[in-house]
Copies of this chain bind each other. A is one copy, B any other.
Amino acid sequence: MTASDYATAHRARFVRELREFLRFPSISTLAAHRDDVHRTAQWLADHLQTIGAQVCQVIPTPGHPVVYAEFPASVPNAPTLLFYGHYDVQPVDPLDEWTSPPFEPTERDGVLFARGATDDKGQVFLVIKAIESWLQGAGTLPCTVKLLIEGEEEIGSPNLEGFLQTHRPQLACDGVLICDTAMFAPDVPSLVYGLRGLAYLELTVHGPNRDLHSGSFGGAVVNPANALARIIAALHDDAGNIAVPGFYDDVRPLDEQERALIASLPFDEEAFQRELGVPALGGEAGYSVLERLTVRPTLDVNGLWSGFTGEGAKTVLPASAHAKISMRLVPDQRADRIAQRVAEHIERIASRGVRVEVRMLHGADPVLVDRESLPMKAAARALEQTFGRPPVFQREGGSIPVVSHFQQMLGVPVVLMGFGLHSDGAHSPNEHFHLVNFYRGIEAVARFLEELQRGA
């Protein structure tokens, strides 16, 4: 029996087991769910043991544990694949917007609704079921597979880099697989070859030593909230370019080949705008919407607060004003360097009547993976066999900090092959996963293991 046949024959049970996995409220950011997170790790390890893991450990970290397992290949000299995923999930609020409870997985019209369905439990589980299908169906495994499934991805993986450093020898492999991205569109198999980086700053503008009455003091004291607005406004020019000196210095020019590749993707700018309900799109002149979303850097305010924010009118001249500002970065920008340049620029342009303070909260360097690596080629063949059409190659606008860690520490190719959709509601109410993509994912990963073993 082939792995694919086995997977097809056991679909119903696979979905039942996935529902069991999804029932755990493994919300990593909430202290009240700490025990749930640990019970999820234990359930996962037990499950991996059941399907034949040779090594299987729940490894403690200063935060939530890592589940680590090894499934050795049945053939000699087979390549080794390291799979990375996460079993923790986002919080569920606003809870009242969920049609069915987030931790009571509910199927409606072939779609499974639950927190974590697409991000990332459903995608972790399809890899596990692909391994099981080889072992139980074909009785062999074409590659050695190592699984590293963490419980802190949704809180920024604070302990992962340390874990990788400590366990480096154990993690040796020929390639890394991550299933935590989205397909470009329904029925369009996709390989992500680029991710933007991130430099996330918190800016505080300090004014007078206390909140003042805007009547008694307004007009002669620089208002920190007005000063903050002027700083933020000055970070872009009127053409939508980021107006920080040197900001674009390290941006690798977009070559014609990649530009054509992006232009060939089935993207409808009007539909995109309509779906967001905005009167017009924005961004940098000279680039298509898709280019702006993926291969160009950005600067966005993520949060703003100052003064009185309650109901009605309070005439306060606030003592301080705050903003969270983040930049998405592209190769070869470096998060630290950009943060430094932006901070210096802010110092330079701030009103003399205030004092500014800039703190870097989070950074991730942008990533490009080799579209021509052996694992990428194997993945492309597996996707084509599964979907009946070759995959598109795309860059994504978001960041997955662990990817650059894998590249730097393990020095092997990374494959980003996801089966979710952008409309699956990751991080939002009514998160879901189309079961057809769960089934296709199992098949594609099963075929990928074989193609990887086959080599070029």
- The interface stretch among A19-27, A120-128, A351-359 is A351-359
Binary contact track A287-316/B, C-beta < 8 Å → 1, others 0? 001001100111111111111110011111
- Contact with A308, one of B215, B303, B351, B355 (Cβ below 8 angstroms): B303
The docked-state distance in angstroms from the alpha carbon of A316 to that of B325 is 10
- The interface stretch among A8-16, A38-46, A271-279 is A271-279
Contact A225 B309 (CB under 8 A): no
| Complex interface: chain B residues within 8 A of A298 (CB) | 214, 218-219
- A324 interface residue (CB < 8 Å to B): yes
Beyond A304-B309, A305-B306, A305-B309, 4 additional contacts (C-beta under 8 Å) are A216-B293, A229-B233, A301-B321, A302-B316
- The interface stretch among A110-118, A375-383, A394-402, A443-451 is A394-402
| Complex interface: chain B residues within 8 A of A305 (CB) | 304-306, 309
In the complex, which residues 175-226 of chain A have their Cβ closer than 8 Å to any Cβ of chain B? 196, 198, 200, 207-210, 212-223, 225-226
- Contact with A215, one of B221, B314, B397 (Cβ below 8 angstroms): B397
| Complex interface: chain B residues within 8 A of A198 (CB) | 215, 315
28 A-B pairs with C-beta separation under 8 A: A198-B215, A198-B315, A208-B277, A209-B277, A210-B428, A215-B328, A215-B398, A217-B276, A218-B298, A220-B289, A221-B282, A222-B278, A222-B281, A226-B233, A228-B304, A229-B230, A229-B231, A229-B232, A230-B232, A232-B233, A282-B353, A301-B306, A301-B318, A302-B313, A302-B316, A303-B309, A304-B306, A313-B361
The docked-state distance in angstroms from the alpha carbon of A278 to that of B282 is 37
| Complex interface: chain B residues within 8 A of A313 (CB) | 156, 200, 302, 324, 326, 361-362
- A317 interface residue (CB < 8 Å to B): yes
Contact B397 A219 (CB under 8 A): yes
The docked-state distance in angstroms from the alpha carbon of A293 to that of B304 is 28
- A337 interface residue (CB < 8 Å to B): no
Contact B292 A219 (CB under 8 A): yes
Contact B328 A302 (CB under 8 A): no
Contact A215 B353 (CB under 8 A): no
The docked-state distance in angstroms from the alpha carbon of A280 to that of B350 is 12
**Closest A-B pairs by Cβ, 4 of them:** A215-B398, A233-B233, A229-B232, A222-B282
Contact A304 B304 (CB under 8 A): yes
